[in-house]
Amino acid sequence: MAVKERKAVHPHRGTRPGFTLVELLVVIAVITILASLLLPVTLNAVQQGASAACRSNLRQMGAALFTYAQNHARLLPKHDDSEARVIDAQMWWRQAQGHLVPLLREWHVFQCRADEAASNQLGVPRWHSYGYNTNYYDTTTNTWRGAKYKSISEVANAAAALTFLDNNEGDGGVDGNSDRGYQQAAYANPRVGLTRHSGGFNAVFLDSHAEHFHAGETTPENYEWY
């Protein structure tokens, strides 16, 4: 006589026990630790990305500047066209920038992604994120009046001559200077090479290569930047 096989009864089959409170706390703690470790890495990646985009902007501006000089008897755009007081001058964003716009693909090249200030220290709206080296105008008369075009041939070492860098002004009327990381009070605003990129700033040279500088790496000589 065959014995009928009896199936085991499992009253909890098909159900899954939930997490205990301790297990949930452990999971939350692990997630918190991972987040604290990954957040600085993520922020650093974002900052590095913004800095790289900034250097790309500067390289494009530098290339446009060099192209302009090649197309205009090797003459660099002058900083301003002032024939009167400097306060009435057409600063670089109107003068030199106007020459570069046709040579650039997009307007946003003049704006750094990491530059979040909508206005300068006097509350004047800011138009761009960079300063132009005002030494690229004729200083033989030691005056701001009647600025002349300077030839690229007058620059002894294009690879060591800065042209544009991170700047904190850009109001186009009130002097807003940057001097490669050196700070001093002058006119209405301090002259500052902004350190918006990991405690440093970016700059492009006359040969169109761009570099990152740490604050204090450069000197205050020839500090005129607008």
Residues in the chain: 226
Q: Is residue 220 part of a domain?
A: no
Phi and psi at 41, nearest 5°, equal: -65, -45
Contact 138, 147 (CB under 8 A): yes
Highest mean pLDDT (candidates 15-29, 61-75, 92-106, 185-199) = 61-75
Rounded CA-CA distance 175/79 in Å is 12
Instruction: Please give the distance of CA 43 from its chain centroid, rounded to a whole number.
Output: 16
Contact 77, 90 (CB under 8 A): no
Give residue-wise pLDDT tens across range 159-214.
888 888 887 654 433 333 333 333 333 333 334 456 788 888 898 998 889 998 88
Return the higher-pLDDT residue of 106 and 171: 106
Asked if pLDDT for residue 6 goes beyond 60, the answer is no
Contact 189, 176 (CB under 8 A): yes
Angle 87-89-120 (CA atoms, 0-180°, nearest 5)? 60
Sign of CA dihedral 44, 48, 53, 58: positive
Torsion region of 74: left, alpha or beta (phi above 0 gives left; psi -120 to 50 gives alpha): left
Give residue-wise pLDDT tens across range 107-157.
788 888 888 765 555 566 666 788 877 666 544 444 444 456 678 888 888
Q: How many separate domains does the chain show?
A: 1
Predicted TM-score (pTM) of the model is 0.65
Look up the domain containing 190 and give its range. 28-214
Q: Is residue 59 part of a domain?
A: yes
Q: Is residue 90 part of a domain?
A: yes
Q: Is residue 21 part of a domain?
A: no
Contact 124, 67 (CB under 8 A): no
Q: What is the structure's pLDDT at 201?
A: 87
Q: Is residue 5 part of a domain?
A: no
Q: Is residue 115 part of a domain?
A: yes
Rounded CA-CA distance 146/144 in Å is 7
Q: Is residue 126 part of a domain?
A: yes
Q: Is residue 1 part of a domain?
A: no
